[in-house]
Structure 1
Amino acid sequence: MKTERVVVGITGASGAALAVRIVERLATLGGVETHLVVSDAARRTLDLECGTDALERLLPLVHRHHPTGDIGASIASGSFPVRGMIVAPCSMQTLSAVATGRTDTLIGRAADVQLKERRRLVLLARETPLHLGHLRNMCAVTEMGAIVMPPVPAFYHRPQSVADIVDHLAARAIDLLAMPHPSLAKPWEGAG
């Protein structure tokens, strides 16, 4: 089986549990090499929402943890093949950076590389309510080829806990990378 490389960027928006679960799920898939980038604001959000040891718990699950300031990292180059990138949660600051081509952080640069190489870029844009600038940035990144996936829970599978909701959203985000493995999210089979 071919090894698939996936980049996971974590930014400072609320919803750090989504990133944790995405990394955990990727670690269970055979043949996946995960590259992690965590913004400075995300470190704080991980501590607040998932515990002060959250990042330390993630590091053994990834192949490589890249410093956010290392714009010379392997994932900053289109010559380094990856399946795609998930930014979860994706702050409005990061969304704006991607929409305008700002590449002053490794997350912004790696996202820009996904777009220029026509690879999958999944942005779990996290903010509510949205103003016109947010919506225009979502349109801009979509027109460039990104997939905007606000982490809005689905209730048709009748989740019993917040963990069920987080797990479903993480599975859907990973499925959007179209990797050669069975779907992680339980599919809707109809109401009848």
Structure 2
Amino acid sequence: MSSDNKNVSETSQRERVTVALTGASGVQYGIRLIECLIALDCEVSVLISKAAHVVIATETEEKFPADTHRLEEALYQRFSAQPGQIRVYGRENWMSPVASGSGAPHKMVICPCSTGTLSAIATAASNNLIERAADVALKERRQLILVHREAPYHEVHLQHMLTLTRMGALVMPASPGFYHHPETVNDMVDFIVARVLDQLGFDQGLMPRWGESS
């Protein structure tokens, strides 16, 4: 087998997941999730909204370029990814695999998910690639997890959550537990990321599940 064919074979066997970060507080959840998926040898399609870039610059020390090609290079370096593990797509890249049911991964997580994104997905707005990719996940009956980061909720928020739940999405508010006795902010981030990985069906060692020993 040639090296090129070997790389294609290895890449095709990876679990494919789309991870989108939107303009809500809590981008640490999404960044950590990408890191864990890369460590699990997944192929991750990364979508980062303009608002998310603002939040990343505000809440973290990360230096993520806005340009998609430079961002992809930065993420490869940041997460020590292997060839083929990270694909970054811009907000209007309608030719990307995530924009079509014939090419999109079977799992998508929006983490964090802003209220605006939640509303757009519930109404099938599809005004940008994140919204379109989520719409594809719903119409193709694929797994869609929305890690919503907002409080409190008003009636329309709750209506949209109910609508999305009825369509098959999983709404998972970023509400960390405390039974694992977190000592740092990172411990609280890992709690949510571990729950997301559980829902995606991955074995995770971030923290034990309820009833398991540490």
* Larger Rg computed on CA atoms: 2
Partner residue of 1:155? 178
Distance in 2 (alpha carbons) for counterparts of 1:28 and 1:169: 17
Matched, 1:41 2:51: yes
Output the TM-score relative to the length of structure 2. 0.82
Distance in 1 (alpha carbons) for counterparts of 2:181 and 2:156: 34
Distance in 2 (alpha carbons) for counterparts of 1:72 and 1:29: 27
CA deviation vs aligned residue, 1:139-166 (integer Å, no higher than 9, x gap): 0110110000000011111111110010
Structure 1 residues 13 and 106: alpha-carbon distance in aligned structure 2, compared to 1, 3 A threshold: same
Distance in 2 (alpha carbons) for counterparts of 1:132 and 1:173: 26
Matches within 5 A, 1:7-22: 7-22=18-33
Kindly report the root-mean-square deviation, in angstroms, between the aligned alpha carbons of the 2 structures.
1.9
Question: Contact 2:197/2:203 (CA < 8 Å) preserved in 1?
Answer: no
Tell me the amino acid that sits aligned with residue 144 of structure 1. Answer: M
**The 10-residue stretch of structure 1 (162-171 or 59-68) with the greater mean CA deviation from structure 2:** 59-68
Number of residue-to-residue matches in the alignment: 188
Matched, 1:59 2:75: yes
CA deviation vs aligned residue, 1:127-147 (integer Å, no higher than 9, x gap): 101101111110011011000
Matches within 5 A, 1:40-119: 40-54=50-64, 59-60=75-76, 61=79, 63-119=86-142
Distance in 1 (alpha carbons) for counterparts of 2:94 and 2:196: 25
Q: Which of residues 140, 153, 167 in structure 2 aligns to 1:130?
A: 153
Question: Contact 1:14/1:89 (CA < 8 Å) preserved in 2?
Answer: yes
Unaligned runs of 5+ in 2: 1-9, 66-70, 80-84
CA deviation after TM superposition for structure 1 residue 190, in Å = 7.0
Matched, 1:3 2:14: yes
Tell me the amino acid that sits aligned with residue 209 of structure 2. Answer: P
Runs (4+) of structure 1 moved beyond 3 Å? 54-58
Q: Which has the higher contact order (CA 8 A, sep 6+)?
A: 1
CA deviation after TM superposition for structure 1 residue 51, in Å = 2.4
Distance in 2 (alpha carbons) for counterparts of 1:84 and 1:48: 28
Output the TM-score relative to the length of structure 1. 0.91
Q: Which of residues 5, 20, 26 in structure 1 aligns to 2:37?
A: 26
Question: Contact 2:106/2:137 (CA < 8 Å) preserved in 1?
Answer: no
Q: Percent identity?
A: 40
Distance in 1 (alpha carbons) for counterparts of 2:62 and 2:34: 17
